[in-house]
Structure 1
Amino acid sequence: MFETVSISMEKATQLLEQQEGHFLDFKDKRIAPAKITRAASAFCNADGGDLYIGVTENPHGFSWDGFSDPEDANQLIAALEAVSPFGTDIDGEFLFCSELAGYVLHVNARKSRFIRKSSDGKVYKRLSAQNSPVVSDEALIALRRQKGIESFESETMAIDAEVVTNSEAIIEYLLSAVPVSEPDTYLRKQHLLVSGKPVVAATLLFADEPQACLPKRCGIKIYRYSSEEQARDRLVEDPVTIEGSLYRQVYAAVDRTVKMVESAAYLDDEGLRKVSYPHETLHEIITNAVLHRDYSVTDDIHIRIFENRIEIQSPGRLPGHITVSNILDERLSRNPYLVRHLNRFPDPPNKDVGEGLNTAFDSMKKLNLRSPVIEETANSVMVSIRHESLASPAQQVFDFLSVNGSIKNEQARKLTGIGSESKMKKIFENLIAAGEIEHMPGTAGRGYAYRLVIKER
């Protein structure tokens, strides 16, 4: 059923030298099927990982001790199939090394959009190198939210209905989106008003001051720093707080960020310089953060403006099966009520539903800037928009010198985004060795500069 892959002794040794951790687990071939399902459940319910069956642990580390025949693993394979059908969240292959004994079953488990249970009906989650049971009701609810099976946005709130039925936000919305409906009637039909109480999504969309109902969960903080590092003493001004209904927040946050970037000027050898970013990139990434953050997490969205980049940090991990590597191709909305209704506003911020990040990336490429970098931390998602050219550092230096007479190390580091003086010097040395540039005569010390080599035709 599974492909057999032959690997070299070198590759096998490299595998056995690895340490078990959040994404890697070694298991003895004699392990009970029930125990192997715990490992599969744990990986699928967390961030995925690699499971190797046929590896034993000894005082000196791990050693290869595979199955004599692949069919000897049938019982374990059947148990794994019961956790998640092969091809859905997990795939398998047998590894064979001619210099070692037997076949090792390699199982690749991916982050699942569903909650996967072990054979005893229990739920496990991978935490560091442990397969930890998810036992409490609170932990199970949190896992269901992480998977996108449930959403905090649909929970009812203990606030008066008039907060959302008699607000400026709902009146403006209905006048443009649904001009024939009364607020309470519309909200009930849309399941945004349940048993006379607003759900979280209704509060975020239609309360004039949702921050009063959900303190520290639905605001946006904007910071500007006078350097490339985050430090309190480098703050140019007090952080700006953006509040109000989500529709107003998005446009206010984008507008304020653009203005703060435009007002920022950084001093280098050429004098004051300004850095700009595509408006579409800022708009789409901020909109994405507002739409898809986890509103059950007590934290605001943070936008940090540095000399060479902008960071947008959104509370909560990526939902369901979404990962950093597939986020541009896969679709899963943590907050479908928010996505749907925000799209009904006049001039909706999420015009092309599901395409926002792709638009952000395309806008950077059009200006020959590097694509944003998406990272997932323990409790948030960070998108970094760096002001760096798509061209290699060497090409950037060459292009600069094609227009300008000379360039110094510090100038080149500002141009390329390289922070290390020695790394930049190495690039200059490579360009000199290639016969493209040379030392600028008459320059030395801090003024040491380079110029293009004038080539004879």
Structure 2
Amino acid sequence: MSIQVVRVEANDVAKILDLDEAHFSDLKSVDIAPGKLTKSIAALANADGGELYIGIDEVDKTKRLREWRGFPGVEEANGHVQAFDGLFPLGQDFSYEFLQAPDIALGLVLHVTIQKTRTVMRASDGKVYVRRGAQSIPYTLPEDLDRLSRNKGITSFESQTVQAPIDSVANSETIIGFMLAVTPSAEPLPWLTKQLLIHQGKPTVAALLLFSDEPQAALPKRSAIKIYRYKTAESQGTRESLAFDPITVEGCLYDQIRASVQRTSDIIEQVRVLGPQGLEPITYPHVTLHEIITNAVLHRDYGIADDVHVRVFDNRVEVESPGRLPAHITEMNILDERFARNGSIVRLINKFPDPPNKDVGEGLNTAFSAMKKLKLRDPIIRQADNSVIVEIRHQKLGTPEELIMEWLESHDEITNKRVRDLTGIGSENEVKRIFYRLAEAKQIERVPGKGGGSAAWRNYTGGVEPVDIPPVSDEGTGLF
């Protein structure tokens, strides 16, 4: 295998030496045995991918002092390359290159780029490792390995059988209504068996979720949707900010999705936020809520004993779906790549009249497009340890400068806190910089007599002395 040698500049060397050893990156010395390094590669492949640099010495861990000490030449790295290539062959998931510093005497650092793989990867000791933070955690318990297989899309909990009466799916109101509307010439039990929803006389998880009138009786704490209303814009809701007891939506998935979208919409209609024109209702496209909740229900990991959570805040809606992103799907490619964790559920719910997943595989793209049409910011997708959270924010697509000037069209003044509320910017100092830029452009001026914590800005009149622009540090709290 021929590996390319890439020359890097001094600033690139400095960046590599200063890298955080974290969830997506690891740095190792050339002295570490190849077998131990395969743990790092396997762990990154089994998690979300990342990069491994081999040829970096840790001089002082507490001060994060490191030195570039690579392989003297390509041949000296053959043992490592052969060990890696046998387990992690060069191709779509793994790529290798040598990095050469400006001072060639420093040697070659072997740079391994690892993608999130579709299969479970094992290190040279035969064990499975998963990257969590800066550690490669061994997975030895059957339940951990089973969860990893589900995360990879190799197995799905939907095909597991459940100790529940056959009549709960073969003689339910849901299946009878479905059969009359979709396959009027078929009988429920033979049809369910043909669809592999009945196995050895037991219904599968998919069968219960789709066709039982009350799947929660057989699948408690893992098949409902909970809706919360928090009267706050803080990052976390608390018991004190909870407007009412959480609403629990149960029933078959088809009914759950419809009911949850409607309940969430009803709650959102009651929310008012302060905007440029005063108190305004929060408006989200109905299709965005529908598609994101549908996606959370259909693609969650039903092997995790938790419900789907919909949280309505003053400035956003969060939809949390149990289970990490499956197979090769990441936060970066989720709008372009396709993978159904629960293939049977996705396929069969699409047979219902007016199915919730009309455009199979296009739901999130539809949600994003609807937000753009209302000139709202794109939803944010982030992955937690054992769930995926989609955040729909009530933030206009305009720049902070545009939002400030829009506010001042109908208000006498604006403060730093108000800008942060309007834009979602978390840093007081970042808002300061925006104020200063607008002041320098003679768009706004500081309100006379207001300083410190009460400082405010207004439209430019020319009657106030120009603001001296001081340097603004990223540190500190700032005064306005």
Normalized against structure 1, the TM-score is what? 0.92
CA contact (8 A) 1:54 1:65 kept: yes
Of 298-307 and 281-290, more deviation after overlay is shown by 298-307
Residue 373 of structure 1 and its aligned partner are, at CA, apart by: 0.5
Which whole-Å CA distance do the structure 2 matches of 1:5 and 1:408 have between them? 52
State the match for 1:283 in structure 2.
290
Offset from partner CA, 1:266-324 (integer Å, 9 cap, x none)? 46796532111011111100000001111111111111111111111111111111111
Which whole-Å CA distance do the structure 1 matches of 2:428 and 2:14 have between them? 38
2:112 to 107, 117, 125: 107
State the match for 1:404 in structure 2.
410
Measured at CA, do residues 234 and 132 of structure 1 come closer, stay the same or move farther in structure 2, by a change above 3 Å?
closer
1:450 to 2:458 alignment: yes
RMSD of equivalent CA atoms? 2.5
Which whole-Å CA distance do the structure 1 matches of 2:69 and 2:426 have between them? 47
State the match for 1:203 in structure 2.
208
CA contact (8 A) 1:418 1:424 kept: yes
1:310 to 2:317 alignment: yes
Residue 55 of structure 1 and its aligned partner are, at CA, apart by: 2.5
Measured at CA, do residues 7 and 341 of structure 1 come closer, stay the same or move farther in structure 2, by a change above 3 Å?
same
Which whole-Å CA distance do the structure 2 matches of 1:28 and 1:414 have between them? 47
State the match for 2:184 in structure 1.
179
Which whole-Å CA distance do the structure 1 matches of 2:261 and 2:112 have between them? 44
Residue 263 of structure 1 and its aligned partner are, at CA, apart by: 1.7
CA contact (8 A) 2:276 2:411 kept: no
Offset from partner CA, 1:69-116 (integer Å, 9 cap, x none)? 223323322222222321221111111112251101000111111111
Measured at CA, do residues 112 and 254 of structure 1 come closer, stay the same or move farther in structure 2, by a change above 3 Å?
same
CA contact (8 A) 1:268 1:411 kept: no
CA contact (8 A) 2:444 2:457 kept: no
State the match for 1:212 in structure 2.
217
State the match for 1:347 in structure 2.
354
Amino acid of the residue matched to residue 83 of structure 2? A
Which runs of structure 2 are paired with 1:163-174 in the superposition (5 Å)? 163-174=168-179
Offset from partner CA, 1:45-75 (integer Å, 9 cap, x none)? 1222211122234456532221122233233
Which whole-Å CA distance do the structure 1 matches of 2:202 and 2:460 have between them? 71
Residue 20 of structure 1 and its aligned partner are, at CA, apart by: 3.0
Measured at CA, do residues 278 and 73 of structure 1 come closer, stay the same or move farther in structure 2, by a change above 3 Å?
same
CA contact (8 A) 1:70 1:103 kept: yes
CA contact (8 A) 1:82 1:119 kept: no
Measured at CA, do residues 31 and 440 of structure 1 come closer, stay the same or move farther in structure 2, by a change above 3 Å?
closer
Amino acid of the residue matched to residue 254 of structure 2? Y
1:94 to 88, 95, 98: 98
Which whole-Å CA distance do the structure 2 matches of 1:269 and 1:434 have between them? 22
CA contact (8 A) 1:84 1:90 kept: yes
SS at match of 2:95: strand
Amino acid of the residue matched to residue 458 of structure 2? Y
Amino acid of the residue matched to residue 369 of structure 1? L
1:324 to 317, 323, 331: 331
Offset from partner CA, 1:9-41 (integer Å, 9 cap, x none)? 343233223343333223332443333333222
Residue 399 of structure 1 and its aligned partner are, at CA, apart by: 3.6
Measured at CA, do residues 53 and 173 of structure 1 come closer, stay the same or move farther in structure 2, by a change above 3 Å?
same
Which whole-Å CA distance do the structure 1 matches of 2:289 and 2:60 have between them? 53
Measured at CA, do residues 63 and 302 of structure 1 come closer, stay the same or move farther in structure 2, by a change above 3 Å?
same
Which whole-Å CA distance do the structure 2 matches of 1:187 and 1:405 have between them? 63
State the match for 1:34 in structure 2.
35
Which whole-Å CA distance do the structure 1 matches of 2:30 and 2:420 have between them? 53
CA contact (8 A) 1:440 1:450 kept: yes
CA contact (8 A) 1:44 1:111 kept: yes
Amino acid of the residue matched to residue 82 of structure 2? A
1:64 to 2:72 alignment: no
1:358 to 2:362 alignment: no
State the match for 2:259 in structure 1.
252
Which whole-Å CA distance do the structure 1 matches of 2:163 and 2:458 have between them? 68
Measured at CA, do residues 120 and 408 of structure 1 come closer, stay the same or move farther in structure 2, by a change above 3 Å?
closer
Measured at CA, do residues 237 and 137 of structure 1 come closer, stay the same or move farther in structure 2, by a change above 3 Å?
closer
Normalized against structure 2, the TM-score is what? 0.88
Measured at CA, do residues 408 and 133 of structure 1 come closer, stay the same or move farther in structure 2, by a change above 3 Å?
closer
State the match for 2:82 in structure 1.
78
1:129 to 2:144 alignment: no
1:374 to 2:381 alignment: yes
Which whole-Å CA distance do the structure 1 matches of 2:183 and 2:349 have between them? 13
Measured at CA, do residues 423 and 87 of structure 1 come closer, stay the same or move farther in structure 2, by a change above 3 Å?
same
Amino acid of the residue matched to residue 213 of structure 2? D
Offset from partner CA, 1:401-431 (integer Å, 9 cap, x none)? 4x53644226544433346666545433321
Which whole-Å CA distance do the structure 2 matches of 1:77 and 1:324 have between them? 30
Runs of 5+ consecutive residues of structure 2 not aligned to the other structure: 463-480
1:392 to 396, 399, 423: 399
SS at match of 1:234: coil
Identity of matched residues, %: 49
SS at match of 1:408: coil
Which whole-Å CA distance do the structure 1 matches of 2:110 and 2:265 have between them? 53
1:239 to 246, 251, 269: 246
